[in-house]
Copies of this chain bind each other. A is one copy, B any other.
Amino acid sequence: MDLRQLQKEVARWIERTPEGYWPPLANLARLVEETGELARALNIGYGSKTLKPGEPPPCLAEEMGDLLFTLLVLANQTGVDLEQALIATLDRYERRRQSGGGSRNTETPRFLP
């Protein structure tokens, strides 16, 4: 399904709620909450966190879907076309890759002393 269409779907969903859009910084707070839940799920699946006895295992797809939803809400309320934004990012990364940026420079210390 078209990302632009999905973005419109999310707009329609918000417009059907009685409260409409939250202010951008409240939506950011929500994005951070969802990012935290994704971090927890990744730490359980690929890191060091363990579940407490009886705790249900997290669902990565659910956390990622929730995060993308909130990102699309923020895009809608700030007038960003997320599809175009992603394509611009891919272009920028490709130009950076071709110009050799980001390659490991083993001469450089990893931290300031």
Contact = CB atoms under 8 A, between A and B. Distances in A.
Interface residues of A, number: 87
Contacts of A2: 1-3
Interface string A59-76: 111101111110110110
Contacts of A39: 28-30, 32-33, 36
Instruction: Tell me whether chain A's interface is mostly helix, strand or loop, or mixed.
Output: helix
Contacts of A87: 1, 65
Nearest to A40: B33
Given A26-B48, A36-B36, A69-B89, 9 more contacts: A26-B49, A36-B39, A58-B111, A61-B80, A61-B81, A61-B84, A64-B75, A68-B71, A68-B85
